[in-house]
């Protein structure tokens, strides 16, 4: 009999996220992965600036709160000092793909043996719904009140695709958590990303397409639909880089 309970890698602290936000699901998937690999006691997580800023209160492993965008650099320092520990970052789209793009790309190209959980909900949530580097064309936000205009505000950055053009990173996959099937796939991907690290394979990044009902101006249910209708067509799910295939060939 399986008893559904809170993973050991989560604390008892109630989450502060808005109703319908999928951060809670993603936190749980990360915690389950740490539990299943039995690495909670040697894991150090790095929290970002953004909605997940207080992730350090929710994960029961040792935690570091990084400056905006700098989590991959902080994680690099931690991993270099403690190569046998498990180091992960948990970052949003503004943090990872805007202010922290240099840190992200360079950690990837060093194939830094860390795990990055990249939560893409196409908006800056914590500051109240401003345009993100991943906001869709035409998407209305506080700082694109007439819809994101590609002429002046450019087009979204597809992080998984972009990083996959690098030779070095080991594993990159995009998943979603808007329905049960997707959650199950996301779990597999996140587990794989941590297992890669434990096995010393190198840089793994899981992009999780997420929601922001509050700032999207949608009900939680509509937000989940919006992921299917708008987000996934622009950000197709799937494995973008998997160097384990190369290894088998060698």
Interface positions with another protein (CB under 8 A): 11, 40-44, 46, 53-54, 56-57, 59-67, 70, 73-78, 80-82, 85, 102-103, 105-106
38 vs 217, beta carbon nearer another protein: 38
CA distance 99 to 4: 38
Q: How far is the CB of 63 from another protein (least distance, A)?
A: 5
Minimum Å distance from CB 62 to another protein?
Answer: 4
Q: What are phi and psi of 138, to 5 degrees?
A: 85, -5
For the chain, strand residue ranges (E) read 43-47, 62-65, 86-92, 115-120, 171-176, 204-209, 238-242
SS3 content of the chain, % helix, strand, coil (to 5): 45, 20, 40
Name the residue nearer to another protein (CB basis): 89 or 178.
Answer: 89
Q: Closest distance between another protein and the C-beta of residue 77, in Å?
A: 3
Q: In whole angstroms, give the CA distance from residue 21 to residue 213.
A: 7
Secondary structure E strands in 52-149: 62-65, 86-92, 115-120
Least spacing, CB of residue 195 vs another protein, in Å: 18
Q: Kindly tell me which of 27 and 148 has the beta carbon lying closer to another protein.
A: 27
For residue 37, the minimal CB distance to another protein (Å) is: 13
CA distance 59 to 223: 26
81's enclosing H/E stretch is: helix 71-81
The residue among 74 and 190 lying less far from another protein, judged by its C-beta, is 74
**Cβ 76 to another protein shortest distance, Å:** 5
Nearer to another protein, 64 or 168 (CB): 64
Question: What is each CA distance from 25 to 20, 78, 177, 218, 237, in whole angstroms?
Answer: 10, 26, 7, 19, 18
If the CB atoms of residues 68 and 230 are measured against another protein, the closer one turns out to be 68
């Amino acid at each position: 009999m399986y008893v559904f309970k809170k993973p050991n890698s989560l604390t008892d602290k109630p989450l502060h996220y808005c109703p319908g936000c999928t951060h809670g699901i993603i936190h749980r998937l990360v915690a389950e992965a740490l539990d299943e690999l039995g690495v909670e006691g040697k894991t150090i997580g790095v929290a970002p600036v953004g909605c997940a800023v207080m992730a350090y209160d929710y994960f029961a492993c040792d935690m570091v709160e990084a400056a905006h965008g700098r989590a991959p650099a902080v994680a690099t320092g931690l991993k270099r000092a403690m190569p046998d520990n498990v180091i992960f970052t948990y970052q949003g789209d503004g943090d990872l793909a805007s202010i922290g793009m240099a840190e992200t790309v360079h950690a990837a190209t060093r194939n830094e043996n860390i795990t990055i959980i990249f939560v893409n909900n196409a908006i800056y949530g914590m500051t109240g719904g401003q345009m993100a580097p991943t906001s869709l064309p035409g998407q209305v936000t506080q700082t694109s009140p007439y819809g994101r205009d590609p002429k002046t505000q450019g087009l979204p950055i597809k992080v998984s695709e972009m990083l996959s053009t690098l030779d070095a990173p080991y594993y990159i996959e995009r998943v979603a958590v808007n329905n049960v099937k997707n959650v199950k796939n996301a779990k597999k991907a996140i587990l794989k990303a941590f297992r890669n690290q434990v096995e010393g394979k190198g840089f793994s990044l899981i992009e999780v397409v997420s929601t922001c009902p509050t700032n999207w101006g949608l009900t939680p249910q509509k937000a989940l639909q919006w992921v299917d209708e708008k987000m996934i067509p622009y950000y197709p799910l799937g494995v973008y880089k998997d160097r384990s295939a190369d290894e088998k060939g060698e």
